[in-house]
Amino acid sequence: MAAFDIAACVALMDDLTAIATRAAAAIQEWGASSLRHKADGSPVTAADEASEAIIFQGLENIAPGIPIVSEERSEAETSGGKGPIYFLVDPLDGTREFIAGRGEFTVNIALIDAGAPRVGIIAAPASDMIWRGIVGRGAERVALRGNGKPTPIRTRTPPSQPVVMVSRSHLDSRTKAYLAGVPQGLPVACGSSLKFCRVAEGSADLYPRLAPTRDWDVAAGHAIVVAAGGDIRTAEGSALAYGMAERLIPDFIVRGDPTTR
């Protein structure tokens, strides 16, 4: 795949879903065992590593030659993911929630092309659900286990009391100030990339994250929200920039209705 092609992405979608499903099963099988902390102090478990191994093997099988950038291997990477197209992976997003025994953790796989997420897959093992989307084609959710039919999803026009998703573990002062400026906003705390999914499926309206995060935390949800009709931009209103130094994204605001500001 030399450049973003919707038809080629559609052909990959079932395989990507199967990979995310296998990774989700591995997470549940391992549980929160072998906990250690990385150099930056963030936690990692054997489940993170098992999920990552499955995803890498799966992606290399279905799309050989496309580079893979992953949270757990990022410290050892000195190249890769610099070209026009690559996979961006978070094998277990929401590790803190996972360790705490909450079901708010996900598997995230995104395809980046020309600096923007084009395909996103988010699997939530505890919810038995996968959200997936291709920019320009649409988004849907499907049961993680079984052979259920996918259900198309779409963002919504905000109601008089908009639902605002906020991070359970990373609610900073800037985000609190933003929430104070949302008339009649109803904040809902949640971990991991599930916040993007709630906006994409039309059960929430906004998701502000005004503290720094990393590319792999955002990319899959970015693609799904945009595919579902929403928008994500920096707090100043510009497009997000992926592949920057340390793969850092300083802030963003997800909107189900792109016309609201």
Q: 42 pLDDT exceeds 50? A: yes
Please spell the DSSP secondary structure of 7-74, one letter per residue: HHHHHHHHHHHHHHHHHHHHHHHH-S-S-EE-TTS-EE-HHHHHHHHHHHHHHHHHSTTS-EEETTTG
Which residue intervals of the chain bear CATH 3.40.190.80?
A: 163-255
Q: Which is more confidently placed, 172 or 131?
A: 131
Among 256, 225, 224, 233, smallest CA distance to 157 is for 256
- Report how far residue 168's alpha carbon sits from residue 125's, in angstroms, rounded to the nearest whole number: 18
- Considering the segment(s) 6-153 as one domain, its CATH architecture is 2-Layer Sandwich (3.30)
Pairing of strands 163-167, 186-190: parallel
143, 24 contact by CB (below 8 A): no
Q: What is the pTM of this model?
A: 0.93
- The pLDDT tens digits of the residues spanning 130-151 come to 999 999 999 999 999 877 799 9
Which residue intervals of the chain bear CATH 3.30.540.10?
A: 6-153
- The pLDDT tens digits of the residues spanning 215-244 come to 999 999 999 999 999 999 999 999 999 998
Classify 163-255 by CATH class.
alpha beta
